[in-house]
Structure 1
């Protein structure tokens, strides 16, 4: 249940082979801080990176970070077993990101390794947290196998779209409009929803340096976030700490939308007490699907730290129209 309620608006990658970046990451703020053993680590640094990341996870989680994850190397690389064997020794590990998941067997392998490794560890009085898996969808093969991938293991908690590798696999050229990824992104968001996975994490924005005189976030980042949210994603990968604030804001609760949702929930509670199945708010009909959407918005706002109780007090007199 804790894993299902994990908020992952921003997933920020940290190179696992750099002690300097690992140390700096403890002062950052992100929903999911992901120590990377894959793309950002050169082959001759893989073994050392495992040790550095293990030490980083062993340290207490900073208060500004909701979740810490490790991106291991792909199952096909032959390095995944070594990665898992090392990082699973840390009692603090809760989340594993698996790259290049092409079929259900990749996740089955990781699940089997987790089960076997944890069973061999000595039992302690303090049970370790459950392990969650996030799968990176990076190829045409993975896209066609989405149904079996999402059904492969109960540990799976989300899908992540890796645009650059997907473009390489299909010989696509990434454009600012991202229309070449529309089918893939829609399929991933839909598959995650169909499998009731709590996290759908969108592609990386390659723009992170401000292009404005006031130093505000690049327009491309803001537009990509809004575009992803419209497609059904509820989070985005980040490659630089400066991207996190914008990503969290856009994938977080909108002020006006949250206010509407609180009003809707309060009025719906009163309508239910009156035996009314449908009613109106601000001249628009509210029925069961709309009311459930409002409740979901309120739950997310609460998870993001919005003063929901304060809003409920402010709108306590809202009536169904």
Structure 2
């Protein structure tokens, strides 16, 4: 299983596989952590064969510097399209991740895992180091109730994603700006991700983003998700990506605090001190663990951690 330090998905952008124009446009994005070429909701049944070939052609091209991860959202295992999807897109030279929708039980990911091992044994055999990762979409009451089994169902699972619209449909919920109606499901998802050391917990799609009001709502949703414990968010338009990735990155203040804590902790450790204070607040093992995680993520997000370490090298614990 991948470790959190190896994966960063602050934003995962869906791009319809039936549109070569949109697929081409996605390759010109300046920076996006993960692009999920879509074969599911955005592609009608009659267009799915064409969508597979479009995506395959993209996956077989040279990588572009702006995209960290190339993923494909296949159709659900129960749809009747999943095996055809996998048969084609697993031929892609630069496929990094599968996004699997409507994962209601562990058996869905057992199926995907078996196909991965059969079709790509060189990437999924003993000792392999570059498997295709799996992100599972949580879309139903049954899925939420079966999260523990889902998280243990494949060694390649790398993310859990909350699909709010389908979940709301399943439970006859009405989505509100507060998102209170999703509190239980969202908490369950981030808790399961942490409990089973799954790197990514991706929050719901924001459907409003245009104009200043839309951007403000997107920022608020991202901040809400970050407080909840999510470390990324789904995007349905390229204009959302920059805002989402900014909010889900450590802020300058967070990065500086974390670097100061780590520097001081190393000094406190040499002094034999298990707890100490910084800025009048007690620092102990859990706080140090949080600081180290922020520093690691800051490095992945492009923050000049080395410069901060130099700036605060003389910091002392009190």
Instruction: Output the TM-score relative to the length of structure 2.
Output: 0.95
**1:224 counterpart residue number:** 221
Equivalent residues in 2 for 1:1-321 (5 A)?
Answer: 4=4, 5-28=6-29, 29-119=31-121, 129-211=130-212, 218-321=215-318
Residues in 1 aligned to 2:10 and 2:277: alpha-carbon distance in whole angstroms: 32
Q: Is the Cα contact below 8 Å between 1:92 and 1:128 reproduced in 2?
A: no
Off by >2 Å, runs of 4+ in structure 1: 1-4
Classify the secondary structure of the residue corresponding to 1:294: helix
- Verify the 8 A CA contact 2:76 2:103 in the aligned structure 1: yes
Aligned mates of 2:315, 2:202 — CA distance in 1: 35
CA contact (8 A) 1:93 1:129 kept: no
CA distance in 2, matches of 1:130, 1:97: 14
Per-residue deviation, residues 250-292 of structure 1 (Å, max 9, x unmatched): 1001111110110110000001111111110001111111111
Cα deviations by residue, 1:219-240 (Å, 9 ceiling, x for unpaired)? 2101100110111000000001
Question: 1:102, 1:142 within 8 Å by CA — same for their partners in 2?
Answer: yes
Deviations 1:146-174 (A, max 9, x none): 01000111100110000000011111111
Contact 1:202 1:237 in 2 (8 A): yes
Do 1:3 and 1:132's aligned partners in 2 also have CA atoms closer than 8 Å? Answer: no
| TM-score with structure 1 setting the length | 0.95
Q: Using the alignment, how far apart are the partners of 2:130 and 2:272 within structure 1?
A: 43
What's the RMSD between the two structures over aligned residues? 1.6
